[in-house]
A and B are shown apart, each in its own frame.
Chain A
Amino acid sequence: MTPLPADPSRPLLEVRGLRTVFHTLAGAYPAVDGVDLSIARGEVVGLVGESGSGKSVTGFSLMRLVDPPGEIVAGEVLFEGRDLLSLPESEMRAIRGDRIAMIFQDPLMTLNPVLTIGEQMIEAVTEHHGVGERAARARAVEALGQVGIASAAERLRQYPHEFSGGMRQRVAIATAMLNEPDLIIADEPTTALDVTIQGQILHEMQTLCEASGTALLWITHDLGVVAELADRICVMYSGRIVETGSADAVLDAPRHPYTAGLLGSVPSVNAPGTRLHQIDGAAPPLSARPTGCPFRTRCGNVLPVCAEIDPPLVGPVPGRGWRCHNPMPERDAA
């Protein structure tokens, strides 16, 4: 497959009206309910939300890795102008791991326990490029070196259980970088790690992506992580993006009450000594979404209209928007 020439005016990835449902005995429930998203070349986008907000399903939908009972039912995922959702599976496979790579949440579960690290890295190269095992191994050694794994050649002969959690996630990052992809989708890659390792991994990812011009979609529930990393932020709630904008705008002057609530609950973002806020209740289950605005049952700014009409995305400029009838007061972005 010949990659199309990069067009700087067009985003690398553009998602329009993505809808992924889960079929149950009681009917089809939307986990992703009309998501629009765009990522430019080299851009770092944070996709933030609570558990059950649909952020992971969004990530898997972009890779077309949603397994039954889940199904992508509508939308477009334009990658360099081509709609991934209408590609034949063989062409989609050729893109996975080569042009778009993915890093999973739990490094203990994602590496195959009975195959060597080397085999699992080398196959990521040889399944895409007609290079010999020796060249692929050399590439793997180089990639492991980039993520700070010493004596990489010996490490390739080892099995996943001989690596710590943080080391395994570094292996996953190195594997993602093997083919120098255009985009890496990272699904909570630091959640399962302890805090010091989290910081190191964040830093490594940032450096690597900057150096190679790789765009990054960082899926997380942790606004603190996103604050350090992202150029732009999309906040997801109940299967939709409820607020989007540059990282500075969203973090300094959130307009959606949900974003404001999330920010109030992050220790690292709030001044020491202030009381942390918590959002009442829990995200509604897929089967019991309220009418109108899905957040209204937990919202402090609720108006009668919220039960009637699902708020559309509004905003002052393209790329900045929120879905709320009664947004938080405007503040100057610092």
Chain B
Amino acid sequence: MTLFILRRAIQSVFVLLAVSIVVFFAVYAIGDPVELLVSPDTSAAEREVMIRRLGLDLPIWRQYLVFLGNLAQGDLGTSFVHGVPAVELILQRLPATLELVVLSLVIAVSIGLPLGMIAGLAPETRTARTIMTGSIFGYSLPAFWQGMMLIFVFAVFLNWAPAAGRGDTVSLLGIEVSFLTADGWSHLILPAINLALPNLALVLRLAASGTAEARLQDYVKYARAKGVRRGRIVRRHILRNILVPVVTVIGVEFGSLIAYSTITETVFAWPGMGKLLIDSVYQLDRPVVVAYVMIATFIFVSVNLLVDLAYAVLDPRVELEKGAS
């Protein structure tokens, strides 16, 4: 177990290094931030000072080495635009995104899993077909369109919930959160649903196909032959067997939701990491973009590790030591 985690940690360092090279050079290729940062009427001398101060006078490979050197000391660079450390900027926005992502996953699982199991247990029924057909809309309609429709119907037309912003927040252990205030909830619910829909559909379909397969297995028939009640068969025998793929998806989606909640955050003007990324790309704020990608990768890698550890808990046949190779 410890060996497994250690080995994965070392692998992760190489992943992060590889990602840093790709993103650093890619961002360099997008454009020259100096044009955006310096007003046209500044003198050439001032301009030179500015370039030197930002470290942009060095060739790209030297810039990368400087970046690596700072990284080794835990410094991911300073925002060109805001003049504060990029990490600080991102971590400020992290709680808002986390709140959104966690709530959307809770929605996706708490609705998707039971609905999927209902559909999987009796695939020939009309209820099952209705559920499965409905789930197609969940992942085939584009997220931005779903978001705009949610705003149109629930914010504009019905006026049940606000269309934008984060609402009132309260401080919980020094972190501003929305989910403890009524106003915060009303702001949170629409973007969370928007973010949840594709994953709800995904979890639902996974649960449905897993259940449809599991219910025909000999162990289910054997449990029936033992006189086990239907409710217990579904909750223990079937649910436990379909959890592995569901947990995998939740894990992978947790990482990508944090990284790519950009569309939802943009549509709903939710002040999270995703919106920060979009703003930073527009402003060519290189350090923020690079730091963002590095942090997103780190979260991704960590969640994947947690998912692998969860396998061992859910499926007793999984051996981590062998699985690592």
Interface residues of A (CB under 8 A from B): 63, 65, 67, 93-98, 101-102, 104, 106, 109-116, 119-120, 123-124, 127-128, 159, 161, 172, 175
B residues in contact with A161, CB < 8 Å: 316-317
- Given A114-B240, A123-B232, verify A102-B316 contact (CB < 8 Å): no
- A175 partner, pick from B218, B226, B237, B314, beta carbons under 8 A: B226
Number of A-B contacts (CB under 8 A): 81
Query: What are 18 pairs between A and B in contact, CB < 8 Å?
Result: A67-B216, A93-B229, A96-B225, A101-B225, A106-B218, A110-B218, A110-B222, A112-B222, A112-B223, A113-B219, A113-B315, A113-B316, A114-B314, A114-B316, A124-B228, A127-B228, A159-B316, A161-B316
A residues in contact with B221, CB < 8 Å: 65, 67, 104, 110
How distant is the Cα of A169 from the Cα of B16 in the complex, in angstroms? 49
How distant is the Cα of A93 from the Cα of B228 in the complex, in angstroms? 7
How distant is the Cα of A96 from the Cα of B227 in the complex, in angstroms? 5
**Can you name the residue of chain A whose Cβ is closest to the Cβ of B230?**
A93
B248: min CB distance to chain A, Å? 15
Extra contacts besides A104-B222, A123-B232 (20): CB < 8 Å: A67-B221, A96-B224, A96-B226, A96-B227, A97-B225, A97-B227, A98-B227, A101-B226, A109-B219, A112-B223, A114-B240, A115-B237, A116-B316, A120-B223, A124-B226, A124-B228, A127-B226, A127-B228, A127-B232, A159-B317
- A113 partner, pick from B223, B227, B229, B241, beta carbons under 8 A: B241
| B236 on the A face (CB < 8 A) | yes
How distant is the Cα of A104 from the Cα of B314 in the complex, in angstroms? 26
Interface residues of B (CB under 8 A from A): 216-219, 221-229, 232, 236-237, 240-241, 314-317
Q: Please state if B227 and A93 are interface contacts (CB–CB under 8 Å).
A: yes
B residues in contact with A93, CB < 8 Å: 224, 227, 229
**Can you name the residue of chain A whose Cβ is closest to the Cβ of B314?**
A114
A62: min CB distance to chain B, Å? 11
A residues in contact with B222, CB < 8 Å: 102, 104, 110-112, 172
B residues in contact with A172, CB < 8 Å: 222
B residues in contact with A159, CB < 8 Å: 316-317
Give the 5 A-B residue pairs with the shortest CB-CB distance, closest first: A97-B227, A97-B226, A109-B218, A159-B316, A96-B227
How distant is the Cα of A4 from the Cα of B218 in the complex, in angstroms? 32
How distant is the Cα of A98 from the Cα of B218 in the complex, in angstroms? 19
**Can you name the residue of chain A whose Cβ is closest to the Cβ of B219?**
A112
How distant is the Cα of A153 from the Cα of B226 in the complex, in angstroms? 21
A110: min CB distance to chain B, Å? 4
Q: Please state if B218 and A104 are interface contacts (CB–CB under 8 Å).
A: yes
A310: min CB distance to chain B, Å? 33
- B227 partner, pick from A94, A104, A110, A115, beta carbons under 8 A: A94
**Can you name the residue of chain A whose Cβ is closest to the Cβ of B214?**
A112
A residues in contact with B218, CB < 8 Å: 104, 106, 109-110
**Can you name the residue of chain A whose Cβ is closest to the Cβ of B243?**
A114
- Given A104-B218, A109-B217, A110-B218, verify A63-B225 contact (CB < 8 Å): yes
A71: min CB distance to chain B, Å? 15
A residues in contact with B216, CB < 8 Å: 67
